[in-house]
Structure 1
Amino acid sequence: MTHINVLDPGASPLDYYGFELRRHREAAGLTQRQLGDIVNYTGSLVGQIETARKLPTPEFSERIDAALGTGGLLSRLVHLVMRSQLPAWFQQVAELEVRAAEICTFQTRMIHGLLQTESYVRAVLSALDPTDLDDRTAVRLARQRVLEKQEPPVFWTVLSEAALRQEIGGREVMRGQLAHLLSFEDDPRINVQVLPFAVGAHAGLQGSFNLYRFTQDPAIVYTEGYDAGHPTANLETVRDCSLRYDHLRAAALSLRDSAALIRRVMEERYGEQRDTDDDPVA
């Protein structure tokens, strides 16, 4: 167990966060319990975060910043903390998401992580490994803050219809997830298109991929294998994937028709079931 007196702020972003939290709390003359009472968290949680045994959340950080008058320090640090908790092979992708001016993604079986709901995230992450689920879920959800920046990237996603029909987490989770996709219907920066089964053979049969474009730097293509990611700026690969993406967008339903299909699948596949007396059943 890490002892607070020997916590090394240079050991990791999480340790640095805990060090700064303790420093500002003590400067304010507050105990862990007193600070917890102010921000509506337990003193025990404050202590666990100070000793790098528990991950802070953006909401916790915002409340602490307001209570201690830190000028938003912890809210800035929490993004580094969350990114550092991602698998090592995925941390570069999170950095690409932060820097990108445009993100184009094709997904064959799942909703992209930047558009996943909390329940959907939990279902995906717990499929084989239910350990530390709260922290792992918070880490993935923290990535979505990139879409809330002052100048967020333009986000395009082409989803195979299979991603809508693959029931992850149960009917209620899927209904909530599809409703979440529909919430972006009027957002010009977040665009969701569906590639219907009726298209047949298409340019994305080789699998999912992401394309990141930047204001000044060369574009990067990212593909993912089992427990490994493969980013590349190879010009030929980028050109090939860019062409494939153009063809996928052309073959996919329009934004309006995609929303109509999402809504139809949500109601027909994941809507309330009724018994013979028209009473809803689970």
Structure 2
Amino acid sequence: MTNINVLDPGASPLDYYGFELRRLREAAGLTQRQLGEIVNYTGSLVGQIETARKVPTPEFSERVDAALGSDGLLSRLVELVLRSQLPTWFQQVAALETQATEIRTYQMGVVHGLLQTGAYARATLGALDQTSLDDRTAVRLARQRIFDKEVTPVFWMILGEAVLYQEIGSPETMRGQLAHLLSFEDHFRINVQILPYSAGAHAGLTGSFTLFRFASDPTIVYTEGYGSGHPTANPTTVNDCSLRYDHLRAAALSIKDSAELIRRVMEDRYGDQVA
């Protein structure tokens, strides 16, 4: 357990955030409880964040910045904190997500993290490890803030039909996740297509992958294993995966037909109705 009296702001982004939060709070003449009451969080949570025992969220940071008049300092710091909490091997990928102008992904077994709901993310992250689940879920969801930028990346996800039927969490979790996918049906920059069972043998049988495209840098292909990630800009690999993606997109249902399939599965399998 970190002691606030010896908290080293240089130890990590999380420690630095806690140090700055304490400094700002004390400069305002507030106790942890008083600040918590102002921002509608518990004083205990404020204390845990100040002592680097709890990961702050963007929402917490925005409220405290507003309450303490800190000119967005904590909101800027929280991005570094959240990225630092990702597994080391994934931090580079999170950076690619923030820099890319276009992200194209094919997913065989699970909805991509950038389009996961909180409940779905929590269920996937907690499948084998329940430790710090709230913090890990918040860190994953924070990656979706790339869609809040003034100019968001184009995001294209091709999803294997089996993902719709794989019940992760609970029927309620799946209803929420499929409804979330449907919310992008008319979105210009976020597109979801389903690769149906009827496609048979297809170009993605060897596994999921993601393509990152940039304004001026080379395209990067990312594949993932158990506890490891493999980004590469090798032209041969990039060209191969780009061609595979084109074939997958051609074999997938249209955006409209994909939405109809998602809606039908949600109604028939998970007992929900969507207007």
Q: Which residue matches 2:188?
A: 188
- The 8 Å contact of residues 266 and 272 in structure 2, kept in 1 or not, is answered as no
SS at match of 1:192: strand
Q: Whole-Å Cα distance in 2 between the matches of residues 139 and 114 of structure 1?
A: 11
SS at match of 2:103: strand
Q: Which residue matches 1:171?
A: 171
Map 1:1-282 onto structure 2 (within 5 A). Answer: 1-271=1-271
1:31: how far off?
A: 1.3
> Which of structure 1's runs of 4+ aligned residues deviate more than 2 A?
none
- The 8 Å contact of residues 21 and 50 in structure 2, kept in 1 or not, is answered as yes
Q: Number of aligned residue pairs: give it.
A: 273
* Deviation sequence 1:122-156 (CA, Å, 0-9, x none): 11111111111111111111111111111111000
- The 8 Å contact of residues 175 and 272 in structure 2, kept in 1 or not, is answered as no
| TM-score, length of structure 1 as denominator length | 0.95
* Deviation sequence 1:154-179 (CA, Å, 0-9, x none): 00000010111111112111111000
Q: Whole-Å Cα distance in 2 between the matches of residues 226 and 38 of structure 1?
A: 43
1:5: how far off?
A: 2.0
Give the letter aligned to residue 138 of structure 1.
A
Unaligned residue ranges in structure 1 (runs of 5+): 274-282
Give the letter aligned to residue 196 of structure 2.
P
SS at match of 2:204: coil
Q: Whole-Å Cα distance in 1 between the matches of residues 148 and 41 of structure 2?
A: 25
Q: Whole-Å Cα distance in 2 between the matches of residues 95 and 213 of structure 1?
A: 13
Give the letter aligned to residue 131 of structure 1.
T
CA-atom RMSD in angstroms: 1.1
* Deviation sequence 1:185-217 (CA, Å, 0-9, x none): 111110000000001000000000000000011
* Deviation sequence 1:29-67 (CA, Å, 0-9, x none): 111111111111111111111111111111110100000
1:272: how far off?
A: 5.4
1:181: how far off?
A: 0.1
SS at match of 2:222: strand
